[in-house]
Amino acid sequence: MAGSRIVVSAEWVEMMRRLVQAGVISLPAASAAVRIHGGQVMMAQAHQDLPKGVRDALGDGPEVRGMQVTGRAGAGMSSAPKHHVLPKEHREWFERRGFKGEMDIDNFCVRLEQAHHEALHGGGNWRMGRTWPGEWNRMIMEALREAEVEAGRMFTRNEVLNIVASRMKRYDVPMKFTKGSSR
């Protein structure tokens, strides 16, 4: 559907997970589909006008005026670096909760532009770096660990994803998972 959007919700994560687990789609196919879908979202939302030189070359007209710069990310060809949503330094913690094999934390990476990435780790004051209390890695591990304390038990993979998904929305991290490197 034109103009459709990714629904950022735990239900969505769960649906993708089920489709992958049921063998309906492969994980690479799932992330490819999401990337393309994400490209449409970006194009629909991009807000920068075309540079004047490009407009001149294309000629004036409503279509051209409606065109906007999306960058490679908007065209679904993002080259922005990939980052782990589930912190690598806690890989074992996630493995114990079922993030193994096809559901390895390396499969939960997102592409982020540098400014966005720095903001998540520095709260807009980049010099603070990981000393910012709201820093992503510190925040997500605390939310998960403290929630487990409340529940009095270890969470399942789905429960971890449920909390992570709600935190991604809070930090405006696009819900477009891609496979990253394990380095």
Which positions lie near another protein, rule CB under 8 A?
5-8, 38, 41-42, 45, 47, 112-113, 115-116, 119-120, 123-124, 133-134, 139-140, 142-151, 159, 162-163, 166-167, 169-174
To another protein, the closest distance from the beta carbon of 56 in angstroms equals 26
Smallest separation (angstroms) from another protein to the CB of 148: 7
Closer of 32 and 123 to another protein (Cβ): 123
Positive or negative: CA dihedral 36, 42, 45, 47: negative
Nearer to another protein, 131 or 182 (CB): 131
Min. distance of Cβ 112 from another protein in angstroms? Answer: 7
Q: How far is the CB of 34 from another protein (least distance, A)?
A: 12
Helix axes 10-21, 27-45, angle to 10 degrees: 150
Closer to another protein by Cβ: residue 58 or 75: 75
Inter-CA distances, 141 with 14, 99, 136, 145, Å: 20, 15, 8, 6
Spell out the alpha helix ranges (H) of the chain. 10-21, 27-45, 52-58, 62-66, 71-74, 91-96, 114-122, 136-151, 157-170
